[in-house]
Structure 1
């Protein structure tokens, strides 16, 4: 009986020693800052897709978002359902805090710059180029 317990314990320890394999991190993951430097977004895994949440914002950015109906800018998910759409390209949804609305989104990565585009009605589009913070 003791030998069986020791064998089971050894097996359990051996399984704990095997490193877990994680999916490779996306090159989008990390901190990104908007052109004015007023908002910082952390892009990371959210279930099977990527998302981006506001982690830092100036008082001015918070006030403008609140005027548009987004009361708490910090913690707000502004990028969601981000999935690959080609080499250095992704698609998903973009939340526009100042307008309190969602748009179809396209993301394009070039070095340490990420162009984030939001389009409503399929043809009215606006984009920003964010810079990687880390």
Structure 2
């Protein structure tokens, strides 16, 4: 009985670990301004919420995608303007990009914490 319980618990932890590691965008990131942003599942997408800095608690983005490539909307917390956005994860770096009319774009690289 104990052996079965231990095997079941081990399998459950393994499955949970696999699910959490499945999407590389999930977690806490240091932004270009030095604030911490948390990216977490919400609805069918990933929400970006600032956790530190002068805009702590503010939701600044909503991205959809998988396997390191994401797109959606990014909001500049200083101006409250929302832009077409994208994110690409490469190891412990997240390149965020916001564009107006897909022509005028600004990029930042965030680092995983």
Structure 2 residue 76 is matched with structure 1 residue 96: yes
Partner of 2:29: 32
Q: CA deviation at 1:51?
A: 0.8
Shift in alpha-carbon separation, 1:28–1:36, aligned structure 2, 3 A: same
2:53 is the alignment partner of 1:78? no
Tell me, in whole angstroms, the C-alpha distance in 1 between the residues paired with 2:104 and 2:78.
16
Cα distance, 1:113–1:45 mapped onto 2, change above 3 Å = same
Q: Distance in 2 between matches of 1:79 and 1:33?
A: 15
| TM-score normalised to structure 2 length | 0.77
Q: 1:120 aligns with which of 82, 96, 100?
A: 100
2:86 to 100, 106, 118: 106
CA RMSD, 1 decimal = 2.0
Shift of 1:36: 3.8
Q: Post-superposition shift, 1:43?
A: 0.3
Q: Which runs of 5+ in 2 are unaligned?
A: 1-11
CA distance in 2, matches of 1:54, 1:123: 26
Contact 2:49/2:58, CA 8 A, preserved across alignment: yes
Q: Structure 1: state its 5+ residue gaps.
A: 1-18, 63-72
Q: 4+ runs of 1 displaced by more than 6 Å?
A: none
